[in-house]
Amino acid sequence: QQKVAIVIHGGAGTIEKSKLTPELEKEYRSKLEEALTIGHSILTEGGSSLDAVVSTIAILEDSPLFNAGKGAVFTSDGHHELDASIMDGQSLNAGAVASVKRIKNPILLARTVMEKSPHVMLAGYGAEVFAKEQGFSFVENDYFFTEKRYEYWQKVIEGETGEAEKHG
Amino acid sequence: TVGCVALDQDGNLAAGTSTGGMTNKRFGRIGDSPIIGAGTYADNNSCGVSATGHGEYFIREVIAFKICAKMELQGMSVDSAASSTIHGDLTTIGGTGGVIALDKNGNISMPFNTAGMYRGYVGTDGKMGILIFKSD
């Protein structure tokens, strides 16, 4: 029997120790620990790596701390657009969704695209039609609103972030 | 962006990534997160990868697939493959970000070229680690 393992990330960037308060750092560490604990327990109980990945990411999507699900950043027109993907290393099957606006946990829809459609990626309106057919419930786009992201969006609009735009 | 790679008791790897994209994006811009091979990839013969960073660069360098390919075709370890891809291929073209990678034997790599990356793991020994800064 294979020993299990799991690894997660919550984004990379200009995370400076001097700008992260001890309270906020504790929140981040606590949420990462919660996600890891859930994912690892699924694996130790014999669950699949796909189940562990989906459950772990869903916890991070539900947290306003991270730029995914609740806590997603703002688009230029003041909305939130979410993307997600998943891949199974055994079969090389994969599923992805892009630019969905009303799906609470896009990682669940990505897995459903992989398992219940003949396609790899569905985008925008079509992805949400597929989600409806598959019985997904919808949230309003403002479910993803957080004050922190709104304030940052305002700074970006006003050019106050001091960060160079990089688009490759 | 958030991501996860897992290895189960049957030796199967899976990888996933989810994101809210880039602040103030226009034109229906899509980054690497939903692009299989760029932001996410998994192959039991090599490793699973989830990426975070400036998506356009990860797309151009096909970062997630490249890490797996280096392992399978060049015989590199997961850490050599992931680190050389982030600190070499990605950095060379001006991209910033990082990846988490986990191979079929449970070896973990988490390279990034930014000031920090929220990250954590539970290894095959059951030990948990949670890290944020480069110095962690």
Question: Given this model, what pLDDT does residue A15 score?
Answer: 80
Query: Is the predicted ipTM greater than 0.95, yes or no?
Result: yes
Averaged pLDDT, B22-37:
96
| Inter-residue contact A85 to B33 (CB < 8 Å) | yes
Question: Given this model, what pLDDT does residue A163 score?
Answer: 62
- The 10 Å Cβ neighbour count of residue A24 is 11
Q: Quick one: chain A helix, strand, coil %, rounded to 5?
A: 45, 15, 40
Angle at B50 between CA A149 and CA A63, to 5 degrees: 35
Q: Does position B2 have pLDDT exceeding 80, yes or no?
A: yes
Q: Which residues of chain A have pLDDT under 70?
A: 162-168
Residues in chain A closer than 8 A to B79 (CB atoms): none
CB pairs under 8 A between A and B: 317
Residues in chain A closer than 8 A to B132 (CB atoms): 15, 20, 25, 28-29
**DSSP designation for A163:** P
Question: Given this model, what pLDDT does residue A162 score?
Answer: 63
Question: Given this model, what pLDDT does residue B47 score?
Answer: 98
Question: Given this model, what pLDDT does residue A167 score?
Answer: 54
**DSSP designation for B112:** B
Cβ–Cβ gap A5/B6 under 8 Å: yes
Question: Given this model, what pLDDT does residue B69 score?
Answer: 98
H or E, element range at A122: strand A121-123
pLDDT tens per residue across span B77-98: 999 999 999 999 999 999 999 9
Cβ–Cβ gap B57/A166 under 8 Å: yes
Cβ–Cβ gap B6/A53 under 8 Å: yes
pLDDT tens per residue across span B51-74: 999 999 999 999 999 999 999 999
Question: Given this model, what pLDDT does residue A168 score?
Answer: 52
How distant is the Cα of B70 from the closest Cα of chain A, in angstroms?
Answer: 16
Cβ–Cβ gap A8/B19 under 8 Å: no
Pick the closest to residue A148 from B116, B51, B23, B29 (CA basis). B23
Cβ–Cβ gap B19/A68 under 8 Å: yes
For residue A146, is it left (φ>0), alpha (ψ between -120 and 50) or beta? beta
- Strands (DSSP E) found in B38-127: 40-42, 47-53, 97-103, 108-109, 116-122
Instruction: Give the nearest chain B residue to A163 (CA atoms).
Output: B23
Question: Given this model, what pLDDT does residue A166 score?
Answer: 60
CA-CA distance, B49 to B16, in Å (whole number)? 8
Q: Give residues with Cβ within 8 angstroms of B39, minimum separation 6.
A: A85, B1, B3, B17, B31, B32, B33, B50, B51, B52, B55, B58, B63, B64
Q: Which of A36, A71, A90 sits opposite B12 (nearest CB)?
A: A90
Instruction: Give the nearest chain A residue to B31 (CA atoms).
Output: A83
Instruction: Give the nearest chain A residue to B90 (CA atoms).
Output: A168
User: Which residues of B belong to the active site?
Assistant: 1
Asked if A159 has any chain B CB less than 8 Å from its own CB, the reply is: no
Residues in chain B closer than 8 A to A72 (CB atoms): 19-21
Looking at chain B, the whole-number percentage of residues with pLDDT higher than 90 is 99
What's the token pair of residue A17?
């120790």
Question: Given this model, what pLDDT does residue A89 score?
Answer: 98
Question: Given this model, what pLDDT does residue A18 score?
Answer: 79
